[in-house]
Amino acid sequence: MIYRFLKRRLSHRISLLRSRKIYREGLLSTNPCGNLRPIKGKTEEREAFTDVEVELLKAGCKNIKDQAVLSFFLTTGCRVSEVVGINKKDIDFQNRCVKVCGKGDKERYVYFTPVTAMYLKSYLETRDDDLDALFVSKFKRRMTKSGFEAKLREIGDQVGVKNVFPHRFRHTFATNMIHNGMPIQEVAILMGHSRIDTTQVYAHTSQDRVKI
């Protein structure tokens, strides 16, 4: 994290030195830094979880809360900020959907599977608090972004799955939906994207996923 920050900072400084401003006042006839090349950061490809990794993560759940959290992220495609804001009363178990508030305060419905519904109901039955939040921490507070990140990372650590973070589940959701034949326009609606090309970034299907 610190290394990437320093690379961006240094690249910005080089860009300033390469600009004409350094010699615009006539003090220099040429820019001595004009041939400096900017530092390019590593482009990280957004990879979905493989089917094997998903099964490992399911096996890494230690309790019903772990199962509910993991299943909810896998089957709804929600942003972690959206999950943080969900209350118990927002869940429509009959239609297996929930209204979430996304970027720009845009509301949309997301849907979950019968298995996710089962885990949510079982988890809520274990609750002995009167908080509105759908998911609460062990300290009886609404789970935060960092709380979800830590929980999912912990599940991954249990079974040796690396790079487990909330947004990767969102990418996996989009990839799975398109892999299963859902039109990308419908996936964009479920994910709350206003532009199709934004969805295409997530909907990467690797060669390994099409092997029989």
Q: What is the DSSP string of 20-62?
A: GGGTTTSS-SS-TTTTPPPPPPPPPP-PPPPHHHHHHHHHT--
Which residues pair with residue 136 across a beta bridge? 142
**Residue 26 tokens, joined:** 């006539």
Q: What does R_g of the chain's alpha carbons equal in angstroms?
A: 22
Annotated catalytic sites, by residue? 79, 103, 167, 170, 193, 202
Cβ atoms of residues 17 and 44 within 8 Å: no
Q: Rounded CA gap, 208 and 74, in Å?
A: 20
* Nearest to 81, CA basis, from 161, 160, 140, 146: 146
* Strands 91-92 vs 97-101: parallel, antiparallel or unpaired: antiparallel
If one counts every other C-beta atom within 10 angstroms of the C-beta of residue 48, the result is: 23
Cβ atoms of residues 141 and 129 within 8 Å: no
Measured between alpha carbons, how far is residue 208 from residues 75, 187, 196, 205, 211 in Å? 21, 21, 24, 8, 5
